[in-house]
Amino acid sequence: MIAITGPRQAGKTTLAQSTFPDKRYVSLEDPDTRAFAQDDPRGFLARLPDGAILDEVQRCPSLFSYLQTRVDAHRRMAEFVLTGSQQFGLLSTITQTLAGRMGLVQLLPFSLQELGSGPLPVPSLDELLWRGFYPPIHDRQLAPERWLANYVMTYVERDVRQLIEVQNLSLFQRFLKMCAARCGQLLNMTGLANDCGVTHKTIGAWLSVLEAGYVIFLLQPHHKNFGKRLVKTPKLYFHDTGLAAYLMGIQDAAHLSIHSARGALFENLVISEFLKQRFNQGLPSNLYFWRNNTGDEVDLLIEQGDFLTPVEIKSGQTFNADFVTGLTKWMRYAGPTALPAQLVYGGDDTMARQGVQVRSWRSLQGLRGAVTIANPPQVPPT
């Protein structure tokens, strides 16, 4: 079996149907279909002798045990293709019931590479940060502020009500905006709780829901301390910069260009692109950040075995020598475990400066394999 998971409206159903055009499509969002699958799972599967695409399958968790029996009996590759937009419902059940029988694909909104290969030109940086990457905004030429408003109301808030009981929806809406305002910052659950007027436990539950629905992700700090005491708190990012910008109240690309959060949104975009590269190859995240207690920091570390690629992210359009200061300091700390350093910035030129590969944000369109080292150097024995 194959499972495709990711945020709503990211293109999971389109991907499944275009990849398996001969398979029957069944949506478990439909109440009658879901009731049939819940009440008579054997009869439901018997009507699908050649398998099927089962959309939003987490809506019927009781079906998974019967799917396991069917897959074990038939032993056919990709007999069923499952899609789901909630990690809690889909991934937890896969782990418990279908472990070893499932190939997992995590599909996020468009990457820069996908946008660049389409018929429309890639927008300017500020336009892209404001619009985000959800497919309907681009392929249907929809107004981002209207589509994202409906997205939050129709999908995000509905998923919250399905997963946990939220007695005061306006408080949750405030929490969403507070999360957007903290994009790219260390996660401070106590501060969020105080600003939203709820308990620390409630904030933890709400964050889990946003992670489960692929609204946010937490970038973990890397554990290598190089003799320095490290920050151990994760950073909060959104899977889509357009959604974060909407929640911040940013009105258009011109407004974003002068907004105080532009740098954080650019950092969010770059890290998201590296994450999409991993997921699109069927690989888990190998991304971290690094910060010690004296304020030294690297925005992104890409772990490759025993080696680390440091990536600094700057939104400025003009390269400045100060951009690489943090990288060169970290390279001295890391010694032989460091792979060549990279800087991604908001300009258009690509160059090498002070031993650092300086890359335009546009080069992320060709990101696939860009930081993979075929034959990494060997760390000398200590």
CATH code of residue 250: 1.10.10.10
Sort residue 355 into left (φ over 0), alpha (ψ -120 to 50) or beta.
Answer: left
Asked which of 106, 131, 152 is the last residue of a domain, the reply is 106
Q: Is residue 381 part of a domain?
A: no
**Both 142 and 80 in a single domain?**
no
pLDDT score of 147 more than 50: yes
Choice among 128-137, 151-160, 305-314 with the minimum mean pLDDT = 151-160
CB-based burial label for 256 (10 Å; 0-12, 13-18, 19+): buried
Q: Domain range spanning residue 335?
A: 287-366
Angle between helices 87-97 and 63-74 (to 10 degrees): 50
Find the DSSP H helices in 288-362: 325-334
208: amino acid identity, one letter = S
In contact, 3 and 55? CB cutoff 8 Å: no
Identify which of 60, 125, 28 has the alpha carbon closest to the alpha carbon of residue 346.
Answer: 125
36-40, 164-168, 222-226, 360-364: the lowest-pLDDT one:
164-168
72 vs 92 pLDDT, higher one: 72
Kindly state whether residues 238 and 319 are assigned to the same domain: no
Residue 140 pLDDT greater than 50, yes or no = yes
The residue written with tokens 């069927």 in the block is 282
Confidence bin at 369 (pLDDT 50/70/90) = very low
Residue 176 sits at the vertex; the CA angle it makes with 175 and 179, to the nearest 5 degrees, is 85
How many CB atoms sit inside 10 A of residue 374's CB? 5
Helix residue ranges per DSSP H, the chain: 12-19, 31-39, 41-46, 63-74, 87-97, 112-116, 125-131, 135-139, 144-151, 157-163, 169-181, 189-196, 200-212, 241-247, 253-257, 262-280, 325-334
Q: Which of helix, strand or coil describes residue 356?
A: strand
Is there a single domain that holds both residue 132 and residue 223?
yes
Residue 135 falls inside a structural domain:
yes
> How many structural domains is the chain composed of?
3
pLDDT digits (tens, 9 = 90+) for 90-108: 555 555 555 566 788 899 9
> Is residue 372 domain-resident?
no
CATH number at residue 322: 3.40.1350
Report how far residue 251's alpha carbon sits from residue 135's, in angstroms, rounded to the nearest whole number.
20
> Which is it for strands 235-238 and 80-84: parallel, antiparallel or unpaired?
unpaired
Residue 279 lies in a domain: no
> Does 241 lie in the same domain as 92?
no
Cβ contact 84:3 at 8 Å: yes
Residues 134 and 254 in one domain: yes
Q: Do residues 137 and 70 both lie within one domain?
A: no
66 & 95 share domain = yes
Provide the 10 A C-beta neighbour count for residue 142: 15
Task: Give the long-range contacts of residues 280-284, CB within 8 A, separation 24 or more.
Answer: 280/111, 280/368, 281/368, 282/103, 282/104, 282/105
Give the confidence band of 374 by pLDDT, cuts at 50, 70, 90. very low
Taking the C-alpha atoms of residue 95 and residue 176, their distance in angstroms, rounded to an integer, is: 29
Q: In CATH, what number is assigned to the domain containing residue 31?
A: 3.40.50.300
Q: Give the whole-angstrom CA distance, residue 52 versus residue 368.
A: 31
Asked, for residue 382, whether it belongs to a domain, the answer is: no
278 is a domain residue: no
pLDDT at 276: 96
Q: 343 near 311, Cβ under 8 Å? A: yes
Lowest mean pLDDT among 22-26, 61-65, 85-89, 222-226: 85-89
Mean pLDDT of the chain: 88
Q: Are residues 307 and 216 in the same domain?
A: no
pLDDT band at 76 (very low <50, low <70, confident <90, very high): confident
**Rounded-to-integer distance, Cα 192 and Cα 134, Å:** 27
Q: Which of 21-30, 93-102, 325-334, 353-362 has the lowest mean pLDDT?
A: 93-102
| pLDDT value at residue 86 | 64
CA 6 – CA 212 distance, rounded (Å): 9
Residues 75 and 147 in one domain: no
Q: Taking Cα atoms as reference points, which of 189, 187, 188 lies closest to residue 200?
A: 189
Per-residue pLDDT at 78:
82
174 within some domain: yes
Coil/strand/helix, residue 365? helix
Residue in 198, 200, 184 with CA at minimum distance from that of residue 234:
184
| Residue 55 resides in a domain | yes
Dihedral Cα 197, 203, 206, 210, nearest 10 deg: 110
220 pLDDT above the threshold of 80 = yes
- Tell me how far apart the alpha carbons of residues 267 and 184 are, in angstroms, rounded to a whole number: 7
User: Using one digit for the tens of pLDDT, what is the confidence trace for 168-217?
Assistant: 778 888 999 999 999 999 999 999 999 999 999 989 988 988 998 899 99
> Are the beta carbons of 240 and 8 closer than 8 angstroms?
no
Q: What is the pTM of this model?
A: 0.89
Here the tokens at position 36 are: 């049939």
Tell me, yes or no, whether 177 and 65 share the same domain.
Answer: no
Distance (Å, rounded) from C-alpha 258 to C-alpha 254?
Answer: 7
- For residues 130 and 164, membership in a common domain is answered with yes
Give 362's DSSP letter.
Answer: G
Check residue 380 and give its pLDDT: 46
Q: Is the pLDDT of residue 239 over 70?
A: yes
Is the same domain home to 260 and 157? yes
Query: What is the mean predicted confidence (pLDDT) over 116-126?
Result: 88
Token pair listed for 361: 């944000």
